[in-house]
């Protein structure tokens, strides 16, 4: 939270909620004129605090409404092997997130697929063909809730 004053924080909160808001509107909400708001945003972007601006899409329409987490064990834990596996897996359409983990398994991947058939194809045609994977366990998501805004 270093070097973020109250105005920066409010600005970040607003941009997390809707980043297509105009600078003019932001200025009103922050009780400032355009220029400081504009310059604060540019500074936050340059400092890497704002990493990007993305549109959120409805998974349903894109045939991605089924969410599955797969915990898996790996046969090799070298830095290079983990990195290679991560790259291999993140290239796959179905895989949205990769985590290298502590605990009973070594990694966790989050899948978003159309249906059970697409899941099955993923496991049989893709995951099973990656040699480093020794065993895995799938957790199917019944319902979920995801925050897109950090409390600042």
Cα–Cα separations (whole angstroms), residue 147 to 15, 17, 46, 74, 151: 14, 10, 25, 30, 10
Binding region for its own copies (CB under 8 A) out of 24-32, 115-123, 132-140: 132-140
Q: Which does 34 bind (CB under 5 to 8 A by kind): its own copies, DNA, none?
A: DNA
Residue 126 near its own copies by CB under 8 A: no
Residue in 35, 76, 137, 139 binding DNA, rule: CB under 7 A: 35
Residue that is written with structure tokens 């045939």 in the block: 63
Residue 34 near DNA by CB under 7 A: yes
Q: Do residues 74 and 134 lie in contact, with contact meaning Cβ atoms separated by under 8 Å?
A: yes
Q: Which does 24 bind (CB under 5 to 8 A by kind): its own copies, DNA, none?
A: DNA
Residue in 14, 15, 32, 44 binding DNA, rule: CB under 7 A: 32
The answer to whether the Cα torsion of 6, 50, 15, 113 is positive or negative is negative
Binding region for its own copies (CB under 8 A) out of 18-26, 32-40, 118-126, 128-136: 18-26
How far apart CA 92 and CA 35 sit, in angstroms, is: 43
Q: Do residues 10 and 149 lie in contact, with contact meaning Cβ atoms separated by under 8 Å?
A: no
Residue 7 near DNA by CB under 7 A: yes
C-alpha dihedral (39, 41, 45, 46), degrees to nearest 10: 20
* Contact positions vs its own copies (CB under 8 A): 1-2, 4, 12, 15-20, 47-59, 61-64, 67, 69, 82, 86, 90, 93, 95-105, 108, 112, 137-152
């Amino acid at each position: 939270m270093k070097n973020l004053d109250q105005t920066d924080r409010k600005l970040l909160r607003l941009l997390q909620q809707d980043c297509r808001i105009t600078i003019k509107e932001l200025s009103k909400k922050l009780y400032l004129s355009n220029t400081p708001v504009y310059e604060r945003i540019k500074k936050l972007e340059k400092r890497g605090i704002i990493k990007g601006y993305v549109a959120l899409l409805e998974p349903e329409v894109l045939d991605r409404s089924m969410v599955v987490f797969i915990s898996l064990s790996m046969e090799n834990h070298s830095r290079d092997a983990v990195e290679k596996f991560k790259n291999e897996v993140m290239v796959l359409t179905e895989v949205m997130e990769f985590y290298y983990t502590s605990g009973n398994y070594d990694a966790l991947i989050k899948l978003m697929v159309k249906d059970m058939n697409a899941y099955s194809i993923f496991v049989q045609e893709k995951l099973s063909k990656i040699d480093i994977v020794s065993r895995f366990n799938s957790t199917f998501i019944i319902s979920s809730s995801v925050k897109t805004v950090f409390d600042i």
